[in-house]
Amino acid sequence: MAGLLARSRHTEWTMGEQHPTIAGMSPGEHQRGTLVIATAQAAATKGLVAKLGFAAGQVVQEFGYDQDVDDDFRLAIEGVCGSELEEEDYGDVADAVVLWWREDDGDLVDALVDGLTNLAEGGFIVLLTPKAGRVGHVDASDIQEATLTAGLHSSGSTNAAGEWNGSRLVAPKTDRR
């Protein structure tokens, strides 16, 4: 075959004098052998995820996953942390928890306490609820009451994703002597 495509360890694409394409994309649009599609929205979401406190090497457990979650937000967390989100039945220590919550999901206090079960000391919960006017919206007063009842407090809130508001929840710091 004329002009075989070769890839080095550093993902440099060569092919005689021709410029190879994969699925119609030029080699400059590839990084480490994986097609990279960057958009301003994806970059903004990744920045937001970092501002919420997610960092490389963290283990993040996810609760409340359903078909309505924001996949871009989930992928941004995975991208920053470097691993997939752990499922609800994960049995080891997690550095952070992502909790997708809708009005009809049950008792928010119970869900927050479940999120605390595997949470490492100094860890945090990001509670994601549908925005006002969306199906499943949770009143701010209900979130505040459940947060306090679960022994947590809010350390910030944000417009987390297209249809979701986010609240970063932490346990109060204790004095250790």
DSSP class per residue in 40-92: HHHHHHHHHHHHTT--TT--EEEES--TTS-HHHHHHHHHHHTSPPBPTT--S
Cβ 131 vs Cβ 165: under 8 Å? yes
Secondary structure element (H or E) that encloses residue 125, with its range: strand 119-130
Q: How confident is the model at residue 48 (pLDDT cuts 50, 70, 90)?
A: confident
Could you give the CA distance from residue 97 to residue 171 in angstroms, rounded to a whole number?
Answer: 13
Domain that holds residue 126: 40-170
Question: Domain for residue 149, yes or no?
Answer: yes
Instruction: Say if 175 falls within a structural domain.
Output: no
Q: Mean pLDDT lowest for which of 4-8, 52-56, 139-143?
A: 4-8
Give the tens place of pLDDT for each residue, 59-117. Answer: 999 999 999 999 999 999 999 999 999 999 999 999 999 999 999 999 999 999 999 99
Tokens of 38: 């960057």
The answer to the question of residue 30 being in a domain is: yes
47 band by pLDDT with thresholds 50, 70 and 90: confident
Domains in the chain, number: 2
All residues at 6 or more sequence positions from 126 whose CB lies less than 8 Å from its CB, including other chains: 52, 96, 97, 98, 99, 160, 166, 167, 168, 169
Instruction: Give me the CATH number covering residue 64.
Output: 3.40.50.150
Query: Could you tell me if 53 and 25 lie in one domain?
Result: no
Q: Taking the model in full, what pTM does it have?
A: 0.74
Is residue 177 a part of any domain in this protein?
no
Nearest to 128 by CA among 63, 51, 59, 45: 63
Clarify whether residues 28 and 86 are in a common domain: no
Sign of the Cα pseudo-torsion (100, 106, 109, 112, in order) = negative
Q: How many helices (H) and strands (E) does the chain have?
A: 4, 9
Q: Is 38 helix (H, G, I), strand (E, B) or coil?
A: coil
